[in-house]
Amino acid sequence: MNELLKSVPDSYFASVNTLSDDLDIGEKPLINMAVGIPDGPAPETVTEAVKSAVDDPENHKYPGFRGRPAFKKAIIDFYRRHYDVELKDENIAILYGTKSMLVQFPMIFIEPGEGVYLPNPGYADYAAGVDLARGVEYELPLLEENDFLPDYDSLKQEELDNARLIYLNYPSNPLGTVASKEFFDNTIRRFRDTGIKIVHDFAYAAFGYEGRHPSILQSDPDFKAAIEVYSFSKSYNMSGFRSGFAVGNKEMIEAINTYQDHTQTGMWGVLQEASISALNEGDAFLLNQKEIFEARKEKVVQALSESGVPIRPIEGGIFGWIRVPEGFDGESFVTYLLKEQSILATPGIPFGSRGKDFIRISLAVEDDKLDECIERFKSIAELWK
């Protein structure tokens, strides 16, 4: 590999996914609370669409480069139905999973030396894209006193002058916090007439627990300032399918499509048919998915809070954010949990420096294991007292 790629730190989540038998686990059965993949199957309508599409000879050929008209129509209908946002074809890019484009986007949009604001705490792999673009990473602090929303007034003017992109992610991984339409309104007003564009990672769109979580495009209806990146992985239990899309600002979308014209030959028709089925027939599934995780978060937050474990309220998403006991940092406490309670959690430090004294736990485990995990945390609650 070249020197630039060598300079990029290892992906934390790649290492997690290759954990082996050398883990120092205690005597109890392991409960993996680090996984970020919902634990149920994809919708039956999706799997039936796959079975049917596999037998269609048209899906054995190269597909069109920029997605089937039926796929784009399904996206347009979905955003109109759920968010009252009117998209056109020029506002849509089909993605081969969303993580790859979230990492690649700085490489195809900014010039070397330009700045990208990344949330801290925020998803770990955003930073790799800035490094590979030879860009400059600027911290977007998410502070509890501001409800874990960025305070744009606190940003340095010299950074703002050099910045080209801001990444946002609500509902938040790892914080479990949400954004209001008023926040998105303010964000768009602030940046729409500047050289800074917004990338909103909407991976946990289905998991807003105080009503449907707003889309940033509701605040940017003429698509002047933002794109939104929507994933099938979490909302529809389709993480293995590697399908998603970006919608919004025409210039940003065209950059994605032009890049993919050179690097892809179009999404497999079977995956497009699966995605179409999810968007057109999956509204009830999304509601059920939200209800499952809402019940889990209420149980976990209530039980741990009552026992004295300082878990933050989970307003959206599928993760809990817990401050570790005095005498630990996130990494040492993850080691303690694994050895003493056979619980695998995620340390907060991969999400940024502000996660140093926290761990992240996932709600994406079966209910009986979640109940057992609660009991194990309650058994060590005195550590926080």
Which domains, and CATH codes, for the chain? 3-41+284-380 (3.90.1150.10), 44-282 (3.40.640.10)
Sheet holding 346-347, edge to edge: 319-323, 358-362, 346-347
Q: How confident is the model at residue 16 (pLDDT cuts 50, 70, 90)?
A: low
Question: Residue 298 in contact with residue 308, Cβ under 8 Å?
Answer: no
pLDDT digits (tens, 9 = 90+) for 305-316: 999 999 999 999
Supply the pLDDT for residue 210.
86
State the chain's mean pLDDT as an integer.
Answer: 93
Structure tokens at 56: 């269609």
> Distance between CA 164 and CA 196 in Å, rounded?
4
Supply the pLDDT for residue 266.
85
Helices (H), 309-358: 330-341
Residue 35 has pLDDT above 90, yes or no: no
User: Hey, what amino acid is at 281?
Assistant: E
Pick from 246, 197, 203, 226: nearest CA to 92: 246
Strands 31-32 and 343-344: parallel
pLDDT digits (tens, 9 = 90+) for 66-86: 889 999 999 999 999 999 999
Per-position b or e across 46-75, b if 16+ CB within 10 A of its CB: beebbeebeeeeebeeebeebbbeebbebb
Residues 6+ apart with CB under 8 A from 177: 142, 147, 148, 149, 170, 171, 312, 315, 316
Task: Tell me which residue has tokens 């878990």.
Answer: 311
Residue 222 has pLDDT above 60, yes or no: yes
